[in-house]
Amino acid sequence: MTEAKRNTEINQRLANLFESNVHLLEDGAAGFMNAARKPAIEAFRKQGIPDFKTENYKYTDLSKVFASENHRRVFTYEDINVNLRELFQCDVPELDTNLVMMTNGWYYSGNEQLTELPKGVVVTSLRKAAVEHPELVEKYYGKMADPEKDPLTALNTAFAQDGVFIYVPRSVVVEKPIQIIDLMRGGEDTYATQRNLVIAEENSQVKVIFCDHTLDPQDYMVNNLTEAHVGENAVVDFYNLQNQHNKAVNLNGLYIRQERNSNVLTNTLSLHGGIVRNNLNVLIDGEHAEANLFGLALTDKSQHVDNFTFVEHAHPDCQSNQLFKNVLDDKSTGGFTGRIHVGRGAHGTLAYQRNNNVLLSGTAKMNTKPQLVIDNDDVKCSHGATVGRIDEEALFYLKSRGIAEREARLMLMYAFAHEVLQEVRVDKLGERIDELVNKRLRGEVSKCHSCVMDCES
């Protein structure tokens, strides 16, 4: 089959899937969510499924991924007769979080009321919030993620039914991080769509941890999109721990809009997954705001992790820092595209970007591409990308002190990863991630079904 024909078939299949299930999609969902569907599927039809010829998806050919899937869709909430909390233990005392669980993209009905949240803070199902508090949700829903500009965003918007909704009112500080455990489960190959919205109002602070997991060995695909509004002077962290299995496809989108004086940190840790694509978009929409984007991917076998970032500097005197690292073994592959746009009025911009990669085998492959578009003279921008091997001189140095080859290699890999790992602003979480990465590098966690806080098993 030619590529064009294959792509047409995928596009048709997904459009048909939409047409024949639109009544299910619309059933019980808020009017504004439903109103966005048809334009979104149109936007998808126009763009089509991206393949290697699509500039933004050059390193992750999604047409191949979608051509081979015929997964079950989850258009209604499926009740679970087991307690997810028991099935998925995550009660390590050192990491105290406000925890909610998602199952195949839906807000788990067994989630308990979070009693320790500060007054006015809402953590609930997006579906429910959209119906019960439309005035709050509608103002932001679909405002940051534009279906016209990205086919995965278009698909997500067309098929979105549920996800997590987080609202932090003005000047409220949520000290205990909010942890969302995304679980893919079920005895069949399954495709899920999850849509999240985070609103952090002026001068508020919140840390959000998304943990992506699989509970069963089936093939899973998830299109998980988060929109985040970060108000003036707000401080918001997003951690994403991707710990699925080698047959899982994780298509992940994060859209952030920052107002003035706000501070955002994202840290995307891809530890396990078959095909992982992270689209990280930050619009700096006010002066003196700061965005920090970090990412670490550890891949082996035939895993693939592709990070795509787009930082838009639209206002003066803002700063962005990006640091992404991949450690690739076996036949695994990786991609990094880092786009920075400094607008005409964004004078005094500081924008830094670095992508460092280590290939542990002769067959691993990494593609990296910085894209800086600067429409302004008064800026400081830098970017750097390296693809290399373990430093043989450093290895010899360690060995010459009595440290055996394997241990010495691990020390160097861990040291390489550590630069990203230290960028975690949650006490204990950093330590736990350190441990997990250490274990992952030692090959002690080959398929971790449990979450980072409970990986001893």
Partner 1 sequence: MLIVKDLHAKVEGKEILKGINLEVNPGEVHAIMGPNGSGKSTLANVLAGHENYEVTKGEVSFFGKDLLDMDADVRSKEGLFLSFQYPVEIPGVSMVNFLKTALNEHRKYRGKDELKAGDFLKLMKEKKELVEIDSQLTNRSVNEGFSGGEKKKNEIFQMAMLEPKLAILDETDSGLDIDALRIVAHGVNALKRPDNATIVVTHYQRLLDYIVPDFVHVLYNGRIVKSAGKELAFELEEKGYDWIKKEVGE
- Min CB(365)–partner 1 separation in Å: 24
Per the rule left: phi > 0, alpha: psi between -120 and 50, beta: everything else, 396 is alpha
Distance between CA atoms of residues 292 and 306, nearest Å: 18
The contacts of residue 455 (CB under 8 Å, 6+ apart) are: 435, 436, 439, 445, 448
Using DSSP's 3-state secondary structure scheme, residue 316 falls into coil
Nearest alpha carbon to residue 178 among 454, 447, 426, 456: 426
> Of the two residues 117 and 398, which places its CB atom closer to partner 1 in the complex?
398
Residue 394 to residues 226, 311, 325, 330, 420: CA-CA distances in angstroms?
41, 35, 19, 22, 20
Helix (H), strand (E) at residue 79: none
Q: Write down the least CB distance from residue 344 to partner 1, Å.
A: 38
| Phi (first) and psi of residue 282, to 5 degrees | -125, 125
- Residue 330 or 419: the one with the smaller Cβ distance to partner 1 is 419
Interatomic CA distance for residues 71 and 190, integer angstroms: 5
Q: Which is nearer to partner 1, 391 or 444 (CB)?
A: 391
The contact pattern for partner 1, residues 407-446, with x = CB under 8 A and - = no contact, is xx--xx-xxxxxx---------------------------
- Output the smallest distance, CB 403 to partner 1, in A: 6
Does 405 sit near partner 1 (CB under 8 A)? yes
- Quote the least distance from Cβ 111 to partner 1, whole Å: 39
Nearest to 215 by CA among 316, 314, 332, 89: 89
| CB-nearer residue toward partner 1: 132 or 435 | 435
Binding mask 317-356 for partner 1 (x = CB under 8 A): ----------------------------------------
Q: Contacts with partner 1 in 66-105 (CB under 8 A)?
A: none
CB of 380 to partner 1, least distance (A): 23
Smallest separation (angstroms) from partner 1 to the CB of 407: 7
Tokens describing residue 385: 């990308």
Which residue's CB is nearer to partner 1, number 310 or number 416?
416
Q: Which residues bind partner 1 (CB under 8 A)?
A: 391-394, 396-405, 407-408, 411-412, 414-419
